[in-house]
Chains A and B, each alone.
Chain A
Amino acid sequence: MSARVEDVRYSRYEGELRGRTERLGSLVWFGARTALGARRSWRAKIIPFALIAIAAFPAIVVLGLKALLSSRIQETIPEILPYDDYYGEIGIVVMLFAGLVGPELLCPDRRDNVLSLYFSTALERHEYVIGRIAGTVAPMLLVTLFPQVVLFFGNTVFAEEPVDYLRDEIRTLGAILLAGVVLALYFSLLSLAVASLSERRAFAMGGYIGLIVLTGAVGGSLAFGMEVGNGWSLLQLLIVPISAVRTMFDTDPFSDPAVAPVYYWLVTAAVCLGSLAVLWWRYRGDEG
């Protein structure tokens, strides 16, 4: 292999350089691609796309049934999968997807010392963190938002009066959009915060899942097993945000209606802010 500099095909870039927003957008774009295994082997793609397929599976089944059954029969059966129940059905998938994506974006950068190169460009530390958050949230929307949107528009198409359905359920569509974004943000931040503590993807993913399982077990045991108090259910990091977003569909949180919905939102917000604080702490420094 030759390493000579040839006198051909070298030119200077004379065009205009793009601004800060576009540069940040490139970090988000490459991050989202990395999370989905783009330009890598099939092994890097199979798990994220399998999780997306599993998340969308309930919606596809419901819409498939509606397509197969006649409208007369459809009217005789209750709504198979209410929108507010969907997040409970796919909560584990959402959690796993975040556990996959967050460490995938943060850990290799630290492990391979790529940060020093990123920061030698005009990229600032806080921009890197914002780019990684957005790069995680974007693919997360494929599991928190995409299936619900497919279900909603499928239901609209199969409705007796699609236009009426759309008009009547437009508020539900707003709730779907907001819930999808909130869940994507919540699980992304939590996953990234844990991932920022390790250079190893396996440790980060294990730590993140362990944290959610542990808090779920402790919160559930204290609230429902030992019956110490209903408030302890707010420790359950998987259940809490799902319960919070269910309130947007005018449904009581399913874990424990005795706890006021506002507390689910407060804990969700606190976890997000705490995760941001961890990220700020980890990337504030003078390294690189």
Chain B
Amino acid sequence: MAAPPAHDAAAIVADGVVKTYGSVRALDGVTVASDENAVGLLGANGAGKSTLMKALLGLVRTDSGRLNVLGIDAVRGAAEVRHRIGYMPEHECLPRDMAASDFVVQLGMLRGLPHRGAVLRANEVLFQVGLEEERSRLIGTFSTGMRQRVKLAQALVHSPELVVLDEPTNGLDPAGREEMLVLVRRLSTDLGIRVLLSSHVLEDVERTCDAVIVLREGKVVTEGRIDAIGVDAVARLRVRVRGDVHAFVAALAARGISATPGEDGLDLDDGDDATLDAIRDAAGEAGVSLRELRRAGRTLEDAVIGAMQ
């Protein structure tokens, strides 16, 4: 497969964007610039995520400020923007009485593909999302996970440069969520499609995105690459045991692992599976029981919660 294409313009540039609904300031001077391939949009309900996405699509008109998508003014060039991006809404938005392939073909044609091209592309994207066998079935007979995939397929049918995904794992069971996350991640890593993903599930963003934008009450409270916004460069493990802690530390030392006892347990440098095996074996040798074993240090969750407080 060919390497993903290089991108010319920044995916999103917002400069002092304001949008009010009556007395509510949904976007309050949003200023952000993102050039990463996959960006997560985080925030609590009402933080302004959906309004920002609708503004990017030109579906709501902002009161002031400048908003560029792929180098195009999202207000004056709304039609051009919508040509070049795909949108997967959060809510149910699929016609129950249409076959999946017909619907994706129709959306492809509405986005400017000729009929033959739309049919070919619909078959391709439905294959990509794992619905090749089911494409002729009525959408009304689909499970939630399959409907989410149809929503993703229609967003991809016209080969967009950027896809805007609004809570793509909503309503999915654990297996379906896992599949969707793999799918979303590969859009940016393998297929060269930029991704803007809105979610309130931090793990979804952490697993699928390179950078985050965190909104609170219509304002950007933090943004940047995930590995640069407060997440410790060197992850650590936190271990708590019941029993003779010193014997446990000695058993670890015998295995080449240094640990410092503290008030709340032991901190160890994070390692691979061999480290975890050593902890298990040292606990057995020292006759202690493991009470807690988790990653320590500042995570994305800590950083986001800190920014939102």
User: A residues bordering B, Cβ < 8 Å?
Assistant: 1-13, 15, 17-19, 22-23, 26-27, 30, 34, 39-40, 44, 108-109, 112-114, 116-123, 286, 288
Contact = CB atoms under 8 A, between A and B. Distances in A.
B117 A15 contact: yes
Nearest to B129: A3
Contact of B110 (A1, A10, A26, A288): A26
Contact of B107 (A7, A39, A44, A121): A121
Interface residues of B, number: 55
Contacts of A9: 124, 127-128
Interface string B186-199: 11001100000000
Contacts of B106: 26-27, 30
Contact of B96 (A7, A17, A112): A112
Interface in B94-117: 94-99, 102, 106-107, 109-115, 117
Interface stretch (B65-73, B85-93, B219-227): B85-93
B245 interface: no
Contact of A4 (B112, B125, B130): B130
A44 B187 CA distance: 38
Contacts of A121: 82, 107, 110-111
B158 interface: yes
A5 to B, nearest CB: 4
21 contacts: A3-B129, A3-B176, A3-B180, A4-B179, A4-B182, A4-B183, A5-B186, A15-B114, A17-B112, A40-B97, A112-B95, A113-B92, A116-B59, A116-B91, A119-B59, A120-B87, A121-B107, A121-B110, A121-B111, A122-B110, A123-B110
B254 interface: no
A122 B129 contact: no
Contacts, number: 131
Contacts of A116: 59, 89, 91, 93
A253 B96 CA distance: 44
A177 B204 CA distance: 59
A117 B107 contact: yes
A117 B130 contact: no
B32 to A, nearest CB: 21
Contacts of A34: 97-98
A39 B102 contact: yes
Interface of B: 1, 5, 57, 59-60, 79-80, 82-83, 87, 89, 91-99, 102, 106-107, 109-115, 117, 121, 124-125, 127-130, 133-134, 138, 145, 149, 154, 158-159, 176, 179-180, 182-183, 186-187, 190-191
**In the A-B complex, the 5 residue pairs with the closest CB atoms:** A17-B112, A3-B179, A26-B109, A3-B130, A120-B87
Contact of B82 (A5, A13, A120): A120
A8 B191 CA distance: 11
Given A10-B1, A18-B114, A120 B57 contact: yes
A288 B59 contact: yes
Contact of A5 (B57, B138, B154, B182): B182
A167 to B, nearest CB: 41
Nearest to B189: A5
A14 to B, nearest CB: 8
A212 B127 CA distance: 48
Contacts of B186: 5
A112 B112 contact: no
A227 B57 CA distance: 59
A257 B159 CA distance: 62
A72 to B, nearest CB: 53
A95 B35 CA distance: 56
A26 B117 CA distance: 13
Contacts of B133: 1
A117 B93 contact: yes
B202 to A, nearest CB: 22
A5 B128 contact: yes
A12 B182 contact: no
A3 B96 contact: no
A286 B121 CA distance: 31
A100 B93 CA distance: 23
B250 to A, nearest CB: 47
Nearest to B118: A26
A271 B218 CA distance: 45
A11 B128 CA distance: 11
Nearest to A12: B159
Contacts of B159: 12-13
B7 to A, nearest CB: 13
B15 to A, nearest CB: 23
Nearest to A286: B60
B110 A13 contact: no
Given A10-B1, A112-B95, A117-B89, A122 B124 contact: no
Given A1-B133, A13-B159, A122 B112 contact: yes
